[in-house]
């Protein structure tokens, strides 16, 4: 076994120990799986030179098989599971977003034109609200992506030697999408300030949304029958 193979095997053992420790004692299947993995690890660590390669191969194969099927483990929250809903959301938000495309209220090609919005100013308000809501949602999801990476840090560290892992690839895609979305939203380097998790940017986006909503509310209040008649007669609005 080469030094590289030995290092990879030791890291696989560490991964197997953590999986075994995470399996619940109260679940029959979980208890059996934990015992089976634990037994293989003990055998691998105590095998004679003549048996070492075969036992290590069997142990590594079993641990990686469990890892590749971690979504089915009898654990309340399987490893890296936090990334799944975040990945789905980021994938949706990373799609090209033309005006009126976020809520998809109009069929493609039939969106209101500039002339339409000039004739019906409320359409312009609706479009502005769509953009600010999209920005807020995008920022919230990128913050969620960072939190998912933090909460899964242990499993990411233990599995970073595992090759061809679809969920790891999804995790890398999540972080790349988050960086892309942050850059699209106007962040120059796509990274939060030291000690910041992205919450300050989210708060700023929410303040912009509040201002946009206040503007929309004012425009709608101006259209109330009482306000309109007072405005037209020169009275207070």
Give pLDDT tens digits for 207-237: 888 888 888 888 888 888 876 555 455 555 4
pLDDT of the residue at 97: 66
Higher pLDDT, 89 or 31: 31
**What mean pLDDT comes out for the span 54-80?**
88
Does 61 have pLDDT greater than 80?
A: yes
Quickly count: other Cβ atoms within 10 Å of residue 191's Cβ. 11
Does 89 have pLDDT greater than 50?
A: yes
pLDDT of the residue at 178: 60
**What mean pLDDT comes out for the span 185-210?**
65
How far is residue 86 from each of residues 126, 169, 226, measured CA to CA in Å?
27, 14, 46
Nearest to 78 by CA among 66, 90, 93: 66
| Average pLDDT in the chain | 78
Is the dihedral angle over the CA atoms 164, 168, 174, 180 positive or is it negative?
negative
Higher pLDDT, 96 or 136: 136
pLDDT of the residue at 7: 86
List all residues 6 or more positions away from 53 whose beta carbon is below 8 Å from its beta carbon.
1
Higher pLDDT, 95 or 118: 118
Does 189 have pLDDT greater than 60?
A: no
pLDDT of the residue at 188: 42
* CB-based contact 23:33 (threshold 8 Å): yes
pLDDT of the residue at 170: 61
Return the SS3 of 134. Answer: helix
**What mean pLDDT comes out for the span 61-73?**
88
List Cβ<8 Å contacts ≥24 apart for 24-28: 24/74, 24/75, 27/74
pLDDT of the residue at 39: 93
Percentage with pLDDT > 70 across the chain: 76
CA pair distance 29, 68, nearest whole angstrom: 17
Per the document, the length of the chain is 237
Range in 92-96, 145-149, 155-159 the model is least confident about: 92-96
CA pair distance 12, 4, nearest whole angstrom: 12
Q: Quote the distance between the C-alpha of residue 189 and its chain's center.
A: 19
pLDDT of the residue at 180: 62
* CB-based contact 64:13 (threshold 8 Å): no
pLDDT of the residue at 8: 86
* CB-based contact 171:113 (threshold 8 Å): no
List all residues 6 or more positions away from 132 whose beta carbon is below 8 Å from its beta carbon.
205, 208, 209, 212
Compute, in degrees rounded to 10, the torsion defined by CA atoms 129, 132, 134, 135: 180
Higher pLDDT, 186 or 71: 71
Quickly count: other Cβ atoms within 10 Å of residue 208's Cβ. 14
């Amino acid at each position: 076994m080469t030094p590289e193979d030995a290092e990879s095997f030791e890291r696989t053992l560490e991964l197997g120990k953590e999986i075994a420790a995470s399996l619940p004692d109260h679940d029959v299947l979980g208890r059996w799986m934990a015992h089976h993995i634990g037994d293989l690890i003990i055998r691998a660590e105590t095998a004679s030179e003549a048996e070492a390669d075969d036992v290590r191969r069997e142990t590594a194969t079993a641990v990686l098989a469990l890892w590749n099927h971690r979504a089915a483990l009898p654990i309340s929250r399987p490893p890296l599971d936090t990334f799944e809903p975040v990945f789905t959301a980021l994938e949706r938000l990373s799609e090209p977003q033309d005006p009126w495309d976020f809520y998809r209220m109009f069929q493609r090609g039939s969106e209101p034109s500039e002339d339409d919005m000039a004739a019906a100013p409320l359409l312009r308000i609706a479009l502005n609200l769509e953009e600010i809501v999209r920005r807020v949602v995008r920022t919230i999801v990128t913050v969620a992506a960072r939190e998912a990476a933090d909460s899964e840090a242990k499993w990411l560290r233990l599995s970073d030697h595992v090759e061809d892992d679809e969920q790891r690839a999804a995790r890398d895609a999540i972080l790349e999408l988050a960086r892309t979305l942050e850059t699209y939203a106007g962040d120059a380097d796509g990274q939060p300030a030291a000690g910041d998790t992205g919450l300050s940017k989210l708060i700023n986006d929410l303040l912009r949304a509040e201002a946009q909503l206040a503007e929309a509310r004012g425009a709608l209040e101006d259209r109330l029958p009482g306000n309109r008649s007072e405005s037209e007669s020169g009275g207070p609005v």
